[in-house]
Amino acid sequence: MTFLRPTLLTLACLFAAHTGASDLPSLGDASSSIVSPQQEHQLGRAWLGLLRGQVSQLDDPQLKDFVESSVYRLSETSQLQDRRLEFVLLNSPQLNAFAAPGGIVGVNGGLFLYAQTEAEYASVMAHELAHLSQRHFARGVEAQQRMQLPLMAAMLAGIVAAAAGAGDAGIATIMSTQAAAIQEQRRFSRQNEQEADRIGLVNLEKAGYDPRAMPLMFERLMRQYRYDAKPPEFLLTHPVSESRIADTRNRAEQFPAKGRQDSLRYQLMRARVQLTYEETPGVAAKRFRAMLDENPGLDAARYGLVLAQMKTGQLAEAGETLAPLLSKTPDDITYNLAQIELDMAANRLDAAERRQERMFALYPSNYPLQQARVDLLLKQQRIADAERALDNLLKTRAKDPDVWYQVAEVRGLSGNTIGLHQARAEFFALVGDYNQAIEQLDFAKRRASNNFQLASRIDARQRELSEEKRLVEQMLR
């Protein structure tokens, strides 16, 4: 399985309640009789809330939008039947990506640092989607249950022998049984990895990428970390060997020598991440400038320099650096968002608003553009308009805790105290803190005591969250 190591115990606790149930539905295979797809979905959402409440995330609308749109595109050519995906973008420069039960897809910011092309990035995500489509979590539970009786019998024999005075012989039996169990789990994990590689390659090619990017990524990572005492999390959960690379390369070579390797948009997102994890914006500016000196046509480096200059308050210089990019592609959403941000920082709010309106005519449902509108409205002190814009954004991002957090802030500014508590409740529920969520709805109900219909809706939502809390606690027992 490809989970973050700190969460394995949590996951084990979560599925323990399910594996003991006697009324689980059978969907035609052994794994479905143990953990159904719907139970995986519930399990994944519960785990996601726990993760969000414990780990720092990247609140970058453009990066989030790229991850979501790229993975959804990959899912269209995958065998994934349930495409109710949820995403979490972790604020870590370490290389990692993972898939959790029920369609949870996680990406560390560090993946963009290590995956040098979009095809390499897509190869990692196609691999993770294959874990989901093949239901490796449920199959892993099923495999453990198959092992359990013979394993327990062998361990019991060893314990009895040790208790009867066999001493070292009994202990050796216990140790060898445990070793056999670990070896079986590793074997099953290797099978999962090989299957995810094979299916990921097929889907990578179907999505229009060059499948050769997968062995290239693995090969470079193995060379880079061959002698490291502590390799990145991705290599701990996805062990890379010479044989695995050779197998993946042989399979990739069977596809036609075509397919997309890279895109400018991916490199622009990489520049955003590189700036995030650079020591200071000034150091980042020097690095991007050096790249431009070496290759003046490197648009991603020019874009990174624009962002770094804005971070250091060099607004006039940022405008000069950005101008050639806008001149070359005047309708590019990424460059226009940078100009909007620049105009807002320079207090040219009318210019920012005019540019936003032009972009909305081209990209009416773009999430980062919608977020930029909210930011501009707040800067213009148009609080009521910002609240309406956020309510509209919730129609498509009702499961995004970052949006709910801002909704709560804006409702507080507008004097909508009941709505403030409701928004806080949704935020806390999404980060797994049901006690706080339910308490916030208590506050809202007291405020709405004179409005029967509103109080009834709040009460109904509170009952829903109480039931969610009960189910999560039941899974954790």
Digit-coded pLDDT (tens) for 254-271: 998 889 999 999 999 999
Classify residue 226: in a domain, yes or no.
yes
Range of the domain at 417: 400-476
- Model pTM? 0.82
Q: Which of 253, 270, 302 finishes a domain?
A: 253
Q: What is the pLDDT of residue 19?
A: 36
Q: What is the pLDDT of residue 466?
A: 94
Is 409 a catalytic site residue?
Answer: no
Of the residues 197, 332, 341, 387, which is catalytic? 197
* Cβ-based neighbour number of residue 474 at 10 Å: 12
Higher pLDDT, 406 or 199: 406
* β-sheet bridge partners, residue 104: 86, 100
Residue 126 has pLDDT above 60, yes or no: yes
pLDDT tens-digit map of 181-209: 444 444 446 677 888 888 889 999 999 99
Average pLDDT of the residues of the chain: 83
**By the 8 A CB rule, do 219 and 245 touch?**
yes
**Mean pLDDT of all residues in 228-251:** 80
Is 128 a catalytic site residue?
Answer: yes
Tell me the binding residues for Zn(2+).
127, 131, 193
Tell me the binding residues.
127, 131, 193
**Mean pLDDT of all residues in 374-394:** 98
DSSP string of 352-400, one letter each residue: HHHHHHHHHHH-TT-HHHHHHHHHHHHHTT-HHHHHHHHHHHTTT-TT-
**Total domain count for the chain?**
2
Classify residue 237: in a domain, yes or no.
yes
Classify residue 372: in a domain, yes or no.
no
Classify residue 28: in a domain, yes or no.
no
Classify residue 424: in a domain, yes or no.
yes
Q: Which of 253, 273, 306 finishes a domain?
A: 253
CA-atom Rg of the chain in angstroms: 26
Determine if residue 435 is left, alpha or beta; phi over 0 gives left, psi from -120 to 50 gives alpha, anything else beta: alpha
Classify residue 159: in a domain, yes or no.
yes
**By the 8 A CB rule, do 102 and 45 touch?**
yes
Q: What is the pLDDT of residue 440?
A: 98
Classify residue 389: in a domain, yes or no.
no
Of the residues 60, 86, 118, 128, which is catalytic? 128
Q: Which of 211, 236, 253 finishes a domain?
A: 253
Classify residue 5: in a domain, yes or no.
no
Question: Do β-strands 104-108 and 97-100 pair in parallel, antiparallel, or remain unpaired?
Answer: antiparallel
d(C-alpha 140, C-alpha 150), whole Å: 17
